[in-house]
């Protein structure tokens, strides 16, 4: 080897060594970084505890440990939807690395607060129609996550309730006020049409917020002589699920709910997306984004797991007999 070749070899070796050192230093910095995740929910901390635990467990499986390499800033509107914009702005001021949102309302507040911080939707009904994203396949901007087909599921729940109670005439539909705005109004119109085709009278009841609001809602349901109760997928109603189930049972009404968690509290039936699975998938997207993926490149995932759960004990409490054929349709029958 000539002196010239030796010199070139030495320079190359030094360059490679420097490149390795810089790469190693960058990797060490990345490994040592503690990411900050914001979590925004219009509901309550206690109401979201079950789903949040699933979210944290999945993050842990992926190597993200709260207090070690991530911190989570929790913000709950505590059923006061007007607080969500300020809570979202607060997370932005804290310069979190990513925001996870539950529901359309929280997603809209986060989107308004930032166009740069990645936003992952844990669950939201039809984010395209609500204007959150451009399309499911190519969401664009800084938002991605999960979508639930609630318009179709609302209709299916009404059908299931009718099958469970063949002589049903009037159904009380509990919804939250913000749902009357924008695309949610379309969902109500679809549900009204479905009720008409099933020869049912849909009584729309707004329980407002708090225990007194729920008590008043069920007094209204009694006056309207409803024979069954159905709930919308509103976050405030999910947060109040225990009290709602208690009131439905007290008034001896058959009820069908959006999520299994209502049945876990003693409700009669639920039909809808598996929200535990959605929060697990949200954690997977958080992992991808923290590792460098861009929200705009991650398609919004539609719910793929659905469950129909029946609580026989609840049926007995209100004197409702369900046929073997009806029970056979359920994914799970709780006794």
Domain of 95, in residue numbers: 34-149+275-305
Does residue 4 lie in a domain region? no
110 and 177, same domain (yes or no)? no
Does residue 28 lie in a domain region? no
117 and 158, same domain (yes or no)? no
Q: Residue 268: CB partners within 8 Å, gap ≥ 6? A: 164, 248, 254, 255, 256, 310, 311, 314, 315, 318, 320
How far apart (Å, rounded) are the C-alpha atoms in residues 18 and 113?
Answer: 42
Does residue 169 lie in a domain region? yes
> Is the pLDDT at 13 greater than 60, yes or no?
no
Please tell me whether residue 271 adopts helix, strand or coil conformation: strand
289 and 248, same domain (yes or no)? no
Is residue 29 within 8 A of residue 255, CB to CB? The reply is no
Does residue 2 lie in a domain region? no
Structural domains of the chain, count: 2
How far apart (Å, rounded) are the C-alpha atoms in residues 235 and 310?
Answer: 22
Using 50, 70 and 90 to split pLDDT, how confident is the model at 210? low
Is residue 301 within 8 A of residue 323, CB to CB? The reply is no
289 and 262, same domain (yes or no)? no
Q: What CATH number should be reported for the domain holding residue 262?
A: 3.40.50.2300
232 and 292, same domain (yes or no)? no
- Per-residue pLDDT, 181: 41
172 sits in which H/E element: strand 170-174
> How much is the mean pLDDT over the chain?
88
How far apart (Å, rounded) are the C-alpha atoms in residues 272 and 280?
Answer: 16
78 and 119, same domain (yes or no)? yes
| pTM score of the predicted model | 0.81
- pLDDT tens-digit map of 162-197: 999 999 999 999 987 654 443 356 678 889 999 999
> Where is pLDDT greater, at 16 or 103?
103
> Is the pLDDT at 211 greater than 70, yes or no?
no
Using 50, 70 and 90 to split pLDDT, how confident is the model at 16? very low
- Per-residue pLDDT, 301: 96
Q: CA–CA distance from 175 to each of 85, 94, 201, 208, 292 (Å)?
A: 21, 33, 16, 9, 39
- pLDDT tens-digit map of 116-146: 999 999 998 888 888 899 999 999 899 999 9
Using 50, 70 and 90 to split pLDDT, how confident is the model at 256? very high
56 and 175, same domain (yes or no)? no
Using 50, 70 and 90 to split pLDDT, how confident is the model at 318? very high
- Per-residue pLDDT, 331: 95
Considering only 182-186, 216-220, 242-246, 324-328, which range has the smallest mean pLDDT?
182-186
103 and 127, same domain (yes or no)? yes
Measured in residues, the chain has a length of 335
What stretches of the chain show up as alpha helix (H) in DSSP?
3-32, 45-61, 84-93, 104-113, 150-164, 184-197, 210-223, 235-239, 241-250, 260-264, 275-290, 312-317, 324-327
Q: Residue 206: CB partners within 8 Å, gap ≥ 6? A: 174, 175, 176, 177, 217
How confident is the model over 201-224, as a mean pLDDT? 87
How far apart (Å, rounded) are the C-alpha atoms in residues 65 and 63?
Answer: 6
């Amino acid at each position: 080897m000539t002196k010239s070749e030796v010199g070139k070899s030495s320079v190359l070796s030094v360059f490679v060594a420097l490149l390795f050192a810089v790469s190693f230093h960058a990797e060490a910095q990345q490994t040592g970084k503690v990411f900050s995740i914001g979590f925004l929910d219009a509901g309550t901390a206690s109401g979201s505890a079950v789903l949040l635990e699933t979210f944290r467990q999945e993050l842990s499986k992926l190597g993200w440990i709260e207090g070690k390499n991530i911190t989570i800033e929790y913000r709950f509107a505590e059923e006061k939807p007007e607080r969500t914009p300020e809570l979202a702005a607060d997370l932005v001021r804290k310069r979190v690395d990513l925001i996870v949102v539950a529901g359309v309302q929280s997603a809209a507040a986060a989107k308004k607060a930032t166009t740069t911080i990645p936003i992952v939707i844990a669950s939201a009904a039809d984010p395209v129609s609500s204007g959150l994203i451009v399309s499911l396949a190519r969401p664009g901007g800084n938002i991605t996550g999960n979508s639930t087909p609630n318009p179709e599921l609302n209709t299916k729940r009404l059908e299931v309730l009718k099958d469970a109670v063949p002589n049903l005439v009037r159904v009380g539909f509990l919804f939250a006020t913000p749902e009357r705005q924008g695309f949610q109004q379309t969902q109500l119109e679809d549900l009204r049409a479905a009720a008409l085709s099933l020869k049912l009278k849909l009584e729309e009841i707004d329980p407002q917020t708090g225990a007194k609001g729920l008590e008043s809602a069920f007094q209204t349901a009694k006056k309207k002589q409803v024979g069954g109760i159905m709930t919308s997928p509103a976050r405030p109603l999910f947060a109040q699920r225990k009290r709602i189930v208690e009131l439905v049972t007290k008034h001896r009404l058959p009820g069908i709910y959006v999520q299994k968690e209502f049945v876990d509290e003693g409700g009669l039936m639920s039909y809808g997306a598996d929200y535990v699975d959605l929060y697990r998938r949200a954690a997977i997207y958080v992992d991808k984004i923290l590792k460098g993926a861009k929200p705009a490149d991650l398609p919004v995932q539609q719910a793929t797991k659905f469950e129909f759960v029946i609580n026989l004990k609840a049926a007995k409490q209100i004197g409702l007999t369900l046929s073997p054929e009806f029970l056979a349709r359920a994914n799970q029958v709780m006794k």
